[in-house]
Every structure is written in structure tokens, then in C-alpha cells.
């Protein structure tokens, strides 16, 4: 599988937009999800671990999933994640994990997945009964957030109502949206939402 982030991994943690987004998304998660030391948290599209490094002190175990080996290599090298995280370089839509999580978090990964409906069902299946999701991505935008012809981008953000319906169709309840952060880029504003939802017990 071609690693689209191979050349980006080395300086990813110093780029301003990933830093801003991970900080805003973590703040939104912490305000809406009770993080406790018994939680097993799966980060879908974990990248270099910008988000779960912030989550790590508050929870028990971390499962980091990404299809970029280069990004995960950076993630597992972080001392704050040592002994707490297990990394999986695989596409869980094709090859699900055997472990189940209490919480699935994600920041800016959904727009890289072509079949959002299949993703919703896959994440539902990766949760224990009563488990929750906290997923962040762009609101619908005009295609200018990414440079033209960026490989691996399948969605120009998401319509909240449509995404909420997909999550409901997958079995989630208590679907709620909030704005996590607004990215200012080249005189344009790009809101990033956080959607939380629950798998019924």
C-alpha cells in the first residue's frame, strides 16, 4: 500500500494546522466525554499521535490505527506513549481489530476514507456496548482546504445532517455535533466539527 504520508511524517508535529486542530479537538473531546483511567481508546487515523498524546494521561490503554507506517513510527517513538499504546498499521475496514474499545477518537481522518457509511459501521463494530465515538473532521468546504489534486482526499468536508444520519443508520444513538476549532487559512475559515455518539448497551 502506498504510504501517502511517508514524506510528511518527519515534520508533521511542527506544522501549525495539525497542532491547532489536535489541540482544539482534544479540548472538545475533554468537554464532552468523560475520560477515565479504565478506558481503552482507539484512535482511528492516529498519524503521529498528536491527539492521543493529549488523551493518554487520562485513560488506560491506547490503540493507534493508521495506514501510514511512517506516521506510526513517529507515534510509537514518543516517550509519553511508551508502554501505553499498541500501534496497528492496517485498514480496519478490510481487516478489523480483534480488540474492542470503550471510545473511538479521530481527527481529520474521515475525509481520507472513501466509503463513510462503511466506516460508520466498522467503528460501531469496534466498540463495546455503551462505547462512544468522538470524531472530528471538516465541515463541508469548497475544496480549497487541501492543495489541488491532493492524493487520498475523498471528501470536501462533511454535511453534519448527512453524517449524523449515516451514524444513526449504523446503530449509534445520542448523535451530537459541536464546533471544535476553526482553522484560518489563506483568508478562509474552515470549521472543524466534533461528533459524539453512543453504541447502545
The class that CATH gives domain 9-198 is alpha beta
pLDDT at 11: 64
- Rounded distance between C-alpha atoms, residue 126 and residue 102, angstroms: 9
Position 149 confidence tier, pLDDT thresholds 50, 70, 90: confident
Of the candidates 136, 131, 88, which has an alpha carbon nearest to the alpha carbon of residue 111?
136
Of the candidates 103, 89, 85, 96, which has an alpha carbon nearest to the alpha carbon of residue 26?
103
Q: Please determine, for residue 107, whether its predicted confidence score (pLDDT) is greater than 80.
A: yes
Position 3 confidence tier, pLDDT thresholds 50, 70, 90: very low
Helices and strands, number each (H, E), in the chain: 5, 7
Q: Domain spans of the chain?
A: 9-198
- Rounded distance between C-alpha atoms, residue 58 and residue 197, angstroms: 20
Q: SS3 for 30?
A: helix
Angle of the 116-125 helix axis to the 160-170 helix axis, nearest 10: 40
Amino acid at each position: 500500500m502506498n504510504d501517502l504520508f511517508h514524506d510528511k511524517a518527519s515534520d508533521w508535529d511542527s506544522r501549525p494546522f495539525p497542532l491547532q486542530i489536535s489541540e482544539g479537538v482534544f479540548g472538545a473531546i475533554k468537554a464532552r466525554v468523560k475520560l477515565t483511567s479504565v478506558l481503552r481508546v482507539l484512535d482511528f487515523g492516529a498519524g503521529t499521535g498528536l491527539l492521543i498524546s493529549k488523551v493518554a494521561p487520562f485513560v488506560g490503554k491506547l490503540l493507534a490505527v493508521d495506514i501510514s507506517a511512517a506516521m506510526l513510527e513517529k507515534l510509537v517513538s514518543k516517550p509519553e506513549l511508551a508502554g501505553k499504546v499498541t500501534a496497528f498499521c492496517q485498514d480496519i475496514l478490510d481487516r478489523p481489530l480483534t480488540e474492542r474499545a470503550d471510545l473511538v477518537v479521530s481527527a481529520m481522518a474521515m475525509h481520507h476514507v472513501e466509503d463513510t457509511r462503511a466506516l460508520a459501521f466498522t467503528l460501531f463494530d469496534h466498540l463495546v456496548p455503551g462505547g462512544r465515538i468522538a470524531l472530528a473532521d471538516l465541515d463541508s468546504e469548497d475544496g480549497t482546504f487541501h492543495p489541488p489534486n491532493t492524493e487520498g482526499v475523498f471528501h470536501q468536508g462533511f454535511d453534519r445532517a448527512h453524517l449524523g444520519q449515516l451514524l444513526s443508520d449504523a446503530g449509534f444513538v445520542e448523535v451530537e455535533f459541536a464546533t471544535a476549532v476553526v482553522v484560518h487559512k489563506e483568508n478562509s475559515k474552515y470549521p472543524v466539527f466534533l461528533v459524539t455518539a453512543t453504541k447502545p448497551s
